[in-house]
């Protein structure tokens, strides 16, 4: 995917250089920032195709940057991949809830990072080719990347939106957690990720859609099904 701009916000110079080198080798244009403030400014000004964001940063931390970008209409659509040195479950959960599209725990392989970047960018592109899906008082407008409940927009994270869209598109069919991981997170089976991630996001999604959450049915030991009727 040449000509796409990736912004890397990371205060460890070695990691920043390693990521930059590998991304440029793949044909990406790379912007870098060593501090939180500069990174945030750059993200808002340059509108990169994707931001790679370290969690522990001087000035403003990664979680705060994530929150600010996702609250701003102009930057909400920019996908984020978080880098975390801590690797604690709590940080990952917070990051994903704030709308990060993915995360990687340090140390990571540049190859895997690039694979994930491409998966995220591919999903963003796929979104532009879609219609409005309806069920009860829910309307999922893929082109606008908006979910409406009784006509009012519901704020979903990127993953929650994608998850609901996948379930609605397959309405009436049971989708396994593995299938959802692959479709929504874009991972192939060789990459380790816990299927519990899916449950976590379904939980978050259900909370936001009130009574309509009954349409997302848990199919024991398999996965989930969306019921239109
Ligand atoms: Ca750091």
Beta bridge partners of 50: 6
Distance 84 CA to ligand 1 centre (A): 8
Eight-class DSSP state of 106 = S
Q: Which two tokens stand for residue 49?
A: 């195709």
φ/ψ (deg, to 5) at 6: -115, 130
Question: How close is the Cα of 200 to the center of ligand 1, in Å?
Answer: 26
Between CA 6 and CA 16 the distance in angstroms is 12
pTM reported for the whole predicted model: 0.58
Find, among 218, 216, 204, the residue nearest to 97 by Cα: 204
Output the CA 208–ligand 1 centroid distance in Å. Answer: 32
Same structural domain, 26 and 59: yes
11 Cα to the center of ligand 1, angstroms: 5
Q: What is the CATH number of the domain that holds 138?
A: 1.10.10.10
pLDDT at 74: 79
How far, in Å, from the CA of 215 to the mean position of ligand 1?
41
Number of separate domains in the chain? 2
Domain end, chosen from 83, 100, 127, is at 127
- Cα 171 to Cα 140, 141, 215, distances in angstroms: 13, 16, 10
Containing structural domain, residue 122: 5-127
Distance 81 CA to ligand 1 centre (A): 14
157 Cα: distance to centroid of ligand 1 (angstroms): 24
- How far apart are the CA of 13 and the centre of ligand 1, in A? 9
Give, for all 229 residues of the chain, the pLDDT tens digit.
457 999 999 999 999 999 999 999 999 999 999 999 999 999 999 989 999 999 889 889 898 999 899 888 778 889 999 988 765 667 767 777 777 888 888 889 999 999 999 999 988 777 655 578 899 999 999 878 899 999 999 999 999 999 999 999 888 889 988 889 888 887 655 456 677 889 999 999 999 999 999 999 999 988 999 998 7
Q: Return d(Cα 120, Cα 185) in angstroms, integer.
A: 8
Q: Which two tokens mark 116?
A: 């994930």
Of 127, 162, 195, which residue is a domain's last? 127
How confident is the model at residue 213, as a pLDDT?
A: 96
Whichever domain contains 73, its CATH number is 3.40.50.2300
Q: In what order do the strands lie in the sheet with 216-219?
A: 174-176, 223-226, 216-219
């Amino acid at each position: 995917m040449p000509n796409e701009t990736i912004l890397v916000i990371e205060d460890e110079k070695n990691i920043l250089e390693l990521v930059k080198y590998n991304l440029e080798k793949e044909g990406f244009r790379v912007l870098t920032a060593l501090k939180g403030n500069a990174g945030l400014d750059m993200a808002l000004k340059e509108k990169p195709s994707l931001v790679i964001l370290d969690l522990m940063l001087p000035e403003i931390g990664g979680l705060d940057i994530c929150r600010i970008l996702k609250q701003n209409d102009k930057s909400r659509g920019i996908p984020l991949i978080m880098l975390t040195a801590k690797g604690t479950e709590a940080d990952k959960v917070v990051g994903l809830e704030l709308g990060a599209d993915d995360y990687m725990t340090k140390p990571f392989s540049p190859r895997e990072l690039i694979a994930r970047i491409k998966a995220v960018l591919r999903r963003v592109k796929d979104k532009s080719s879609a219609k409005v899906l309806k069920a009860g008082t829910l309307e999922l407008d893929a082109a606008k990347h908006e979910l409406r409940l009784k006509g009012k927009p519901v704020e979903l994270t990127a993953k929650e939106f994608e998850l609901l869209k996948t379930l609605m598109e397959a309405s009436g069919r049971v989708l396994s957690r593995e299938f959802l991981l692959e479709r929504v997170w874009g991972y192939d089976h060789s990459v380790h990720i816990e299927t519990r991630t899916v449950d976590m996001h379904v939980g978050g999604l259900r909370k936001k859609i009130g009574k309509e959450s009954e349409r997302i049915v848990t199919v024991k030991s398999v996965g989930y099904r969306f019921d239109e009727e």
